[in-house]
Amino acid sequence: MRLAADPEAAEWLEEVPGGSRGFDWDEGNRGKLIKHRLEPEEVESIFRSPFVFAGRIVEPEHEEQRWLVLGRVGDRRLALIFTRRGKRLRPISCRSMRRNEKQAYEDAIEEEGKSEPHDS
């Protein structure tokens, strides 16, 4: 996956309403969560903890633009791929972070000075 900086999308993310109001859920994206043992509320909670906007996904290319956010839910580090539907965030997939994503997340959190517990 190749990413590109997207300051406009990063700014938009800060304004997404909390809870289900800001998310576009249906059977399609809810079903994908089962595979990764997640609930919609857990995905939504990523934005209540320190999260990192990784950027817009430019490869692989899709008809609809997609973005990547890295965050935590409890002890789980998650990668959320989403698209925008009007003012709502539509999750496409949410899975455990890959090794390079974990490192990028930890580095960004440390650089931002956000307090985040580190694993022992």
E strands, 1-106, where? 2-4, 52-59, 66-73, 76-85, 88-96
How confident is the model over 63-97, as pLDDT tens digits?
999 999 999 999 999 999 999 998 899 999 999 99
Beta bridge partners of 53: 69
How confident is the model over 101-115, as pLDDT tens digits?
999 999 999 998 865
**pLDDT > 90 in the chain, percent:** 72
Of residues 77 and 19, which shows the higher confidence score?
A: 77
**pLDDT > 70 in the chain, percent:** 92
Could you state, in order of their start, the residue ranges of all structural domains in the chain? 2-112
